[in-house]
């Protein structure tokens, strides 16, 4: 009898510790689920954002509407990447990884444009696309949508083994920002005049905007054309930065140990959408976030995965 009492006295505290640990694990799980539920795509809460964000997720496209809080999926039987909204046609999207397409998100009808094309960006008037082309002549090309004619942009001093990528058209239509090897093994951001047609023209001399330890990539213009937002690992971790259109007044906006990438401005220029990595394997290891242009008020938009955002109103 006394032995039973002694055993109970010995094990009771241990059992209390076990139950406390189990309760703590349950609480952590609940807190994690609450954290996930705060992402706007998982809630019906109202927000002060406007428009729609399109992004890639595991090989297809998704559109999140800030007003309805609805998410629509779009699949056409092939890898869908780098989506960008048309500035003129409300439901038209260009996208491309190894082949360039147009997609009407209302009908889900896709039109093939260019094989070996990718990284599309619309002209401000919506009648042309600039894109990277991986066949000769490799580099930046412009496609006129009305007649499907293409034009090569012969960037001076572009290396034959590493060609320009990630072009983005300025809002005034005069410049194209892009990413290229700077000759020192790093990637940096340059601009080129859209009237560059012959390699001997002064307009074909690129202007380098970024120059630092590490690389700077994925440029995107502000709606008024005064700034360019981009990603860089100059401090050892990939983060979001913003600079003036001439490369001056660089500001670091984010600091995430797992890295932040692929920034794009909101249509009104007050916010920036971007991809944030969390270190988890699989599609949910990266999601779409939004912040103010000064790096404050960071809000997760998706919790089930998302990369390469583009925002329109």
SS (H, E, C) the chain: CHHHHHHHHHHHHHHHHHHHHHHHHHHHHHHHHHHHHCCHHHCCCCCCCCCEEEEEECCEEEEEECCCCCEEEECCCCCCCCCEECCCCCCEEEEECCEEEEEECCCCEEEEEEECEEEEEECCCCCEEEEEECCCCCEEEEEECCCCEEEEECCCCCCCCCCCEEEEECCCCCEEEEEEECCCCCEEEEEEECCCCCCCCHHHCCEECCCCCCCEEEEEECCCCCEEEEEECCCCCCEEEEEECCCCCCEECCCCCCCEEEEEECCCCCEEEEEEECCCCCHHHEEEEEEECCCCCCEECCCCCCEEEEEEC
Position 46 scores a pLDDT of: 57
Cβ contact 159:167 at 8 Å:
no
Provide the token pair at 221: 């213009």
Distance CA 37, CA 21 (A): 24
Do 81 and 306 form a contact (C-beta atoms < 8 A)?
no
94 Rama class: left (phi>0) / alpha (psi -120 to 50) / beta: beta
Task: Give me the CATH code for the 43-312 domain, please.
Answer: 2.120.10.30
pLDDT of the residue at 310: 98
pLDDT tens across 234-287, in order? 999 999 999 999 999 999 999 999 999 999 999 999 999 999 999 998 889 999
Q: What is residue 19's predicted lDDT score, i.e. its pLDDT?
A: 45
* Ranges of the chain with pLDDT below 50: 1-15, 17-37
pTM: 0.87
pLDDT at 80: 94
Q: Can you give the residue ranges of every domain in the chain?
A: 1-37, 43-312
């Amino acid at each position: 009898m006394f032995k039973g009492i002694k055993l109970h006295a010995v094990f009771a505290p241990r059992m209390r510790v076990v139950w406390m640990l189990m309760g703590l694990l349950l609480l952590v799980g609940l807190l994690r689920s609450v954290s996930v539920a705060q992402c706007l795509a998982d809630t019906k809460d109202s927000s002060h954002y406007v428009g729609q964000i399109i992004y890639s997720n595991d090989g297809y496209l998704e559109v999140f509407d800030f007003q309805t809080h609805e998410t629509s999926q779009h699949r056409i039987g092939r890898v869908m990447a780098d989506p960008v909204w048309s500035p003129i046609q409300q439901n038209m999207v260009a996208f491309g990884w190894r082949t360039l397409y147009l997609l009407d998100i209302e009908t889900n009808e896709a039109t093939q444009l260019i094989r070996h094309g990718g990284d599309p960006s619309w002209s401000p008037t919506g009648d042309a696309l600039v894109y990277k082309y991986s066949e000769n002549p490799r580099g930046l090309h412009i496609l006129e949508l009305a007649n499907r004619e293409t034009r090569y942009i012969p960037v001076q001093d572009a290396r034959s083994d590493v060609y320009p990528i990630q072009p983005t058209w300025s809002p005034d239509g005069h410049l194209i920002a892009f990413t290229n090897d700077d000759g020192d093994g790093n990637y940096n951001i340059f601009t080129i005049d859209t009237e560059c047609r012959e390699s001997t023209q002064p307009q074909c001399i690129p202007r380098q905007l970024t120059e630092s330890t590490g690389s700077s990539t994925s440029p995107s213009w502000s709606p008024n054309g005064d700034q360019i937002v981009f990603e860089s690992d100059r401090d050892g971790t990939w983060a979001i930065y913003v600079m003036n259109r001439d490369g001056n007044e660089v500001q670091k906006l984010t600091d995430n140990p797992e890295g932040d990438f692929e920034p794009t401005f909101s249509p009104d220029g007050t916010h920036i959408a971007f991809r944030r990595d969390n270190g988890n394997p699989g599609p949910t290891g990266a999601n779409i976030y939004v912040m103010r242009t000064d790096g404050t008020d960071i809000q997760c938009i998706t919790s089930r995965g998302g990369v390469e955002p583009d925002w329109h109103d």
